[in-house]
Amino acid sequence: MLAFAGRLPFLDLDQHAAAGSDRLLAASEEYRGSSAQRPAALYIIENDRIRGSFLIINARDRWAFLISAMGAFGHSAENMTPERATDIIKQAAGVPDLAVKILGIAPWTASAHVTEQYRYGRIFLAGDAAHEMPPTGGFGMNMGVQDVHNLVWKVAAVLKGLAAPSLLDTYHDERQPVARAITEQSLINATSMGRLEQTKKNAGARPEYLNEQGMIFGATYTSRAIVPDGTKAPHVADPVTDYVPSARPGARAPHVFFQRAGAQISTIDIVGNGFVLLTAGDGSIWGEAARELANDHLLPLKTETIDDEAFMSAYDLDPSGAVLVRPDGYVAWRSRAMTSEPAGTLRETISTILDRIGR
Ligand SMILES: Cc1cc2nc3c(=O)[nH]c(=O)nc-3n(C[C@H](O)[C@H](O)[C@H](O)COP(=O)(O)OP(=O)(O)OC[C@H]3O[C@@H](n4cnc5c(N)ncnc54)[C@H](O)[C@@H]3O)c2cc1C
């Protein structure tokens, strides 16, 4: 892989393919071309002589070039001198007199691994330590951020004595299956493009590639930190491409715009930084119960009343219903209507999730 600085001038090449896997990273510093016509952070190159991807490194003027299927094009990690790397970059850019300064060359091989356990006693694996996947789809770093998002509120709750240590086991239960699915799909992307093989065969990416809203937004969790409400998961024709928003417990709380104090905001802007109980218009009793619970147990638990049809529809609530969203933005519990004893229901719910209070 080769990295260098500047805007890329190869935009009249109309060649498409895949994002890369295979081998080398090299770098150059002062490179200024003209990619103004079609600026992008990623350019995929595939022709008879080279297969690879230009990737922006610093969002301005430094680039990497990832060479794929090196063997098929007569290259190897061993023979990748700076001179050869320079030639390859010029060839890929389609600009023979391109000024290239190589900053570094590094061998790298794509892989697909997921740890069997996310937790080993007091050690929690996250990011690439827990899963490595081909970059075809751009999921690796995102998965790492999501891992930590899932873990940190649990660690904080346990350290503050709000939750039992058993809450930490749900980190593995929730994240490991998602990592398996995403790694598998990233690998399928890569193989669909012929990126993992020393093959010259041009293989178009499968149609799902970079059309992966289901993978991005649709991951759901099943664990004891999620309280099922007895509803069935929505039908999703293709879990890779299709995202069907749902407020079913275990799903990511869906985005819905609503009005607050004359301003339009989104439900996803009010969740996070503690638990949030979202209630529909007739949910004041839920709100009182939540405030009492928060005071009694020093819980980070806020309430937001959203008197809005679109919200009730998206969250599948009656006007008296409520949804509890965890600090990581996932729905922990939902009551589609008022229960006979809302305070008790809420207390039991939080007790189940945290495996502590009131027990
Ligand atoms: C070509 C390519 C393209 C990619 N594109 C995308 C993309 O578009 N989107 C995306 O989401 N992801 C992408 N990724 C994946 C992403 O880069 C990784 O998933 C992410 O960097 C992993 O972050 P991490 O913090 O878990 O691990 P790392 O980034 O590997 O960080 C681990 C750090 O720990 C340090 N370290 C290791 N051992 C020790 C030690 N013993 N003591 C102290 N420090 C140590 C290392 O030096 C390193 O700095 C891509 C990856 C590649 C290779």
pLDDT given for residue 315 in this prediction:
98
258 closest CA partner among 301, 305, 302, 327: 305
Give residues with Cβ within 8 angstroms of 81, minimum separation 6: none
Residue pLDDT tens, the chain, 359 long:
444 433 444 333 222 222 333 333 333 333 334 455 667 888 888 888 888 888 888 877 788 998 888 888 888 888 899 999 999 998 898 888 888 889 899 888 888 999 999 999 999 999 999 999 998 899 999 999 999 999 999 999 999 999 999 999 999 999 999 999 999 999 999 888 777 665 666 667 899 998 999 999 999 999 999 999 999 999 999 999 999 999 999 999 999 999 999 999 999 999 998 999 999 999 999 999 999 999 998 999 999 999 999 999 999 999 999 999 999 999 999 999 999 999 999 999 999 999 986 44
Nearest residue by C-alpha to atom 8 in ligand 1: 138
Residue with tokens 């869906």: 254
Taking the centre of ligand 1 as the mean of its atom positions, its distance from the CA of residue 198, in whole angstroms, is 25
- Which residue type is seen at 175? R
Nearest residue by C-alpha to atom 51 in ligand 1: 135
pLDDT given for residue 177 in this prediction:
98
Q: Is 127 in the pocket of ligand 1 (CB under 6 A)?
A: yes
Taking the centre of ligand 1 as the mean of its atom positions, its distance from the CA of residue 300, in whole angstroms, is 32
pLDDT given for residue 1 in this prediction:
46
Burial of 335 (0-12, 13-18, 19+ CB in 10 A): buried
Angle, CA of 169, 181 and 276, to the nearest 5°: 50
Residues, the chain, total?
359
Find out whether 177 and 114 touch, Cβ atoms under 8 Å. no
Taking the centre of ligand 1 as the mean of its atom positions, its distance from the CA of residue 45, in whole angstroms, is 24
Strand order in the sheet with 2-4: 42-46, 51-56, 63-67, 2-4, 24-27, 106-107
Which ligand 1 atom is nearest residue 132's CA?
19
For residue 166 the two structure tokens come to 């058993």
Q: Is 128 in the pocket of ligand 1 (CB under 6 A)?
A: yes
Q: Is 282 in the pocket of ligand 1 (CB under 6 A)?
A: no
Q: What is the pTM of this model?
A: 0.87
pLDDT given for residue 198 in this prediction:
57
Domains and their CATH numbers in the chain: 2-107 (no CATH), 113-211 (3.50.50.60), 257-354 (3.40.30.120)
Q: Is 107 in the pocket of ligand 1 (CB under 6 A)?
A: no
Q: Is 144 in the pocket of ligand 1 (CB under 6 A)?
A: yes
CB contact burial 290-313 (16+ within 10 A = b; e otherwise): beebbeebebebbbbbbebeebbe
Mutate to test the pocket of ligand 1, among 66, 128, 133 (most ligand atoms within 8 A of CB): 128
Q: Is 65 in the pocket of ligand 1 (CB under 6 A)?
A: no
Q: Is 141 in the pocket of ligand 1 (CB under 6 A)?
A: yes
What is the torsional sign of CA 74, 80, 82, 88? positive
Taking the centre of ligand 1 as the mean of its atom positions, its distance from the CA of residue 129, in whole angstroms, is 9
Give residues with Cβ within 8 angstroms of 344, minimum separation 6: none
Residue with tokens 């086991």: 169
pLDDT given for residue 203 in this prediction:
65
